[in-house]
Amino acid sequence: MMDLVRTLVFCWLLGGQALLHAGARARVTNQLKLTCTRCHSFDVVRAQRLSRAEWEEELAKMSRMGAKIENREAVLDYLSEHYGPARLRSGIITRNRAAH
């Protein structure tokens, strides 16, 4: 019986973590869209396909231009994961920077 309880608690914790990550991801996505679309459409972001270092440079440039970027590391993680060159190479995203 204790094994069942431990298993259920473990699964509940894992599920809670997944929900927490999903909630954090949604907050970063919303923040990113609100911040970026003050000056340009989100298509500009989607078309980039930059490496993490390039996204870092891009965030620094946008900050110098007045963008208020909260939770910079989370934003950088999100941009690198969803709009990095690896997604392009994997065939998940078929657009490339030259096309835009």
More confident residue, 22 or 39: 39
pLDDT at 56: 94
Average pLDDT for 61-83: 89
Look at residue 33 and tell me whether its pLDDT is greater than 50: yes
**Contacts from 36-41 at CB under 8 Å and sequence distance 24+?**
36/62, 36/67, 38/67, 39/65, 39/67
Question: In angstroms, how far is CA 5 from the centroid of its own chain?
Answer: 35
Question: Could you state, in order of their start, the residue ranges of all structural domains in the chain?
Answer: 2-99
